[in-house]
Amino acid sequence: MNELLKKGVEFFNKGYYFEAHDAFEEIWMAERGEERMFYQGLVQVSTGYYHFTMKNLAGAESQLRKGLDKLSKFAPVYRGVQVSELIDAGHSSLRLFEKSRRNGVDPAEIELSFPQIAVSDSN
């Protein structure tokens, strides 16, 4: 696994979504071809959770939805990332965001179990 990808995963798993975004974005900017979409998906998922921590529910939903859509093309595992697990967790978050928004719940009151990015030695 790429060292910068590892760093991004570590940041994400510690809840440092802005820093994870930066690490994934650095890889994304350098990539060409289809693989670029994988890294853009990670950037957007990280951005989605960052928006949630900043109480921006609309931004969280939008970025998370875009990122999960991109990542779906790389399931179940890509570059050592357990993509399917991240997608499942992301969809659970989206359902919670959407339900909260429909019910007028203040984003500060939403109790979210933040996902982790699981990794393996597989590509």
Contacts of 40 (CB under 8 A, 6+ apart): 28, 67, 70
84 pLDDT band, cuts 50/70/90, is very high
Phi-psi region of 15 (alpha: psi -120 to 50; beta: other; left: phi over 0): left
1 pLDDT band, cuts 50/70/90, is confident
Question: CA–CA separation, 50 vs 46, rounded Å?
Answer: 6
Query: Mean pLDDT across the stretch 67-72?
Result: 98
Domain 3-109: CATH architecture, name and number where available = Orthogonal Bundle (1.10)
Does 75 score more than 60 pLDDT?
Answer: yes
